[in-house]
């Protein structure tokens, strides 16, 4: 696939075929993703590629603890509830997904089912847990590096027919993830990526999320002579 085709075609997958993903394919995807830039080429990331029984235990205990009201214990800092434009965009994608799935506004059971799917990482056959070295905790750069890697993972996966969804729902109960994935104490759990062959019949998989236009996102400086003169 061409680069543009991959980037434009990719969208999060939240419904998967049960087919296992060959380890060889995952290794290829990870190898491509590790070409991501990182600060001073420090490559502070580690990946725990989970499937089968360990992943099922994580899904089960993550769900049980969340349902029992155990406070989320993510190891990365949260900004709290989204407000303003961020909240609007959050709502927009939620509405798109619920519409696709036929979940009405007051359908409490439907909404609950959707949340539970998220806790189970949408029953994907594979979850890749991304961690970084704890000695870098306190700065912001290692998280940035991991983000670059994760972008590579989802796009490289897509180029090989794999769908994925980056998700923080799967690591809400990080001690559970740490225990069953065997993550040592010198690493911080950053995020996880649920991955597998997408079920094209699953309505939410067809949702294309909107993006802000370039003129809104980017401020070009020094390109326009008249602006330069005005500034000068």
Ligand X SMILES: Cc1cc2nc3c(=O)[nH]c(=O)nc-3n(C[C@H](O)[C@H](O)[C@H](O)COP(=O)(O)O)c2cc1C
Which of 29, 55, 191, 195 touches ligand X (CB under 6 A)? 191
Taking CB under 6 A as the binding criterion, the range among 20-28, 56-64, 67-75, 163-171 that sits at the site for ligand X is: 163-171
Residue closer to ligand X, measured from CB, 3 or 223: 3
Least Å from the CB of residue 113 to ligand X: 13
Which of 6, 11, 70, 76 touches ligand X (CB under 6 A)? 11
66 binds ligand X (CB under 6 A): no
Residue closer to ligand X, measured from CB, 145 or 231: 145
Q: Going by C-beta distance under 8 Å and a sequence separation of 6 or more, which residues neighbour residue 147?
A: none
Which of 128, 166, 177, 193 touches ligand X (CB under 6 A)? 166
Residue 32: φ, ψ to 5°: -65, -45
168 binds ligand X (CB under 6 A): yes
| Residues that contact ligand X, how many (by CB under 6 A) | 12
Which of 127, 167, 173, 187 touches ligand X (CB under 6 A)? 167
Q: Among residues 229, 154, 230, 232, which one has the least CA distance to residue 198? A: 154
Taking CB under 6 A as the binding criterion, the range among 8-16, 23-31, 67-75, 104-112 that sits at the site for ligand X is: 8-16
165 binds ligand X (CB under 6 A): yes
Q: What is the 3-state secondary structure (H, E, C) of the chain?
A: CCHHHHHHHCCCCCCECCCCCCHHHHHHHHHHHCCCCCHHHCCCEEEEEECHHHHHHHHHHHHHHHHCCCCCCCCCCCCCCCCHHHHHHHHHHHHHHHHHHCCCCCCHHHHHHHHHHHHCHHHCCEEEEEEEEHHHECECHHHHHHHHHHHHHHHHHHHCCCEEEEECHHHCCHHHHHHHHCCCCCEEEEEEEEEECECCCCHHHHCCCCCCCHHHHCCCCCCCHHHHHHHC
Least Å from the CB of residue 19 to ligand X: 21
73 binds ligand X (CB under 6 A): no
Taking CB under 6 A as the binding criterion, the range among 16-24, 155-163, 165-173, 177-185 that sits at the site for ligand X is: 165-173
CA dihedral 116, 103, 168, 212 (to 10 degrees): 180
Which of 91, 93, 95, 227 touches ligand X (CB under 6 A)? 93
131 binds ligand X (CB under 6 A): no
209 binds ligand X (CB under 6 A): yes
Residues that bind ligand X (CB under 6 A): 11-12, 14, 93, 118, 165-169, 191, 209
């Amino acid at each position: 696939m061409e680069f543009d085709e991959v980037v434009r075609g990719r969208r999060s997958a939240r419904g998967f075929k049960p087919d296992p993903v060959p380890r060889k394919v995952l290794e290829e995807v990870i190898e491509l993703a590790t070409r991501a830039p990182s600060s001073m080429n420090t490559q502070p990331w580690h990946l725990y590629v989970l499937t089968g029984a360990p992943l099922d235990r994580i899904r089960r205990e993550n769900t049980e603890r969340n349902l029992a009201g155990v406070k989320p214990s993510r190891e990365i800092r949260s900004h709290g509830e989204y407000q303003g434009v961020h909240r609007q965009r959050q709502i927009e994608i939620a509405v798109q997904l619920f519409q696709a799935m036929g979940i009405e506004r007051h359908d409490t059971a439907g909404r609950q089912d959707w949340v539970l799917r998220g806790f189970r990482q949408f029953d994907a056959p594979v979850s890749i847990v991304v961690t970084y070295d704890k000695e870098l905790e306190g700065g912001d750069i290692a998280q940035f590096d991991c983000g670059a890697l994760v972008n590579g993972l989802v796009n490289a996966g897509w180029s090989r027919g794999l769908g994925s969804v980056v998700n923080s729902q799967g690591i809400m109960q990080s001690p559970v993830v740490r225990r069953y994935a065997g993550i040592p104490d010198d690493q911080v759990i950053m995020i996880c990526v649920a991955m597998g062959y997408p079920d094209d019949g699953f309505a939410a998989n067809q949702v294309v999320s909107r993006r802000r236009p370039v003129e809104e996102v980017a401020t070009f400086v020094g390109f326009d002579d008249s602006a330069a003169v005005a500034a000068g």
